Amino acid sequence: QVQLVESGGGSVQAGGSLRLSCAASGSTYSPYFMGWFRQALGKEREGVAGIYFRGGFTRYADSVKGRFTISQDNAKNTLYLQMNSLKPEDTAMYFCAATWRVWSGDRWREPSQYGYWGQGTQVTVSS
């Protein structure tokens, strides 16, 4: 049974930094793709960043480019999200997600493409 466990959320002031981690367990093989999503109150879940584990190719939402960095540790099947220059609009519950299924096209923003989700970690940025 695959499990994703996030950690690293918290409360910071605008301009601060946080690092999220997501450890995947329960599979012999590395995921095909892992991503970070966030969901603010009253809003839909949106893709923030993602990475193809086998090639290290990354994807970012325009709203976080240049501020957030996604990375992976293949040996540990762990995903990270370094978040710098945080803004109040980054406040949300952050979820990591993983899929071992190969998809066609670049569909990382679609929550339905992921078979596994973490429980979420809250990030709150105050002005």
DSSP 59-82: EE-TTTTTTEEEEEEGGGTEEEEE
75 versus 6: the higher-pLDDT residue is 6
**Torsion from C-alpha of 58, 84, 80, 37, nearest 10 degrees:** -70
Q: Is 27 helix (H, G, I), strand (E, B) or coil?
A: coil
Q: How many residues does the chain have?
A: 127
Give the pair of three-digit tokens for residue 40.
């603010």
Q: Which run of H or E residues covers position 99?
A: strand 92-99
pLDDT digits (tens, 9 = 90+) for 104-126: 888 999 999 999 999 999 999 99
Q: How far apart are CA 78 and CA 4, in angstroms?
A: 9
Nearest CA among 37, 50, 5 for reference residue 24? 5
pLDDT digits (tens, 9 = 90+) for 23-48: 998 888 888 999 999 999 999 999 99
pLDDT level of residue 64 (50, 70, 90 thresholds)? very high
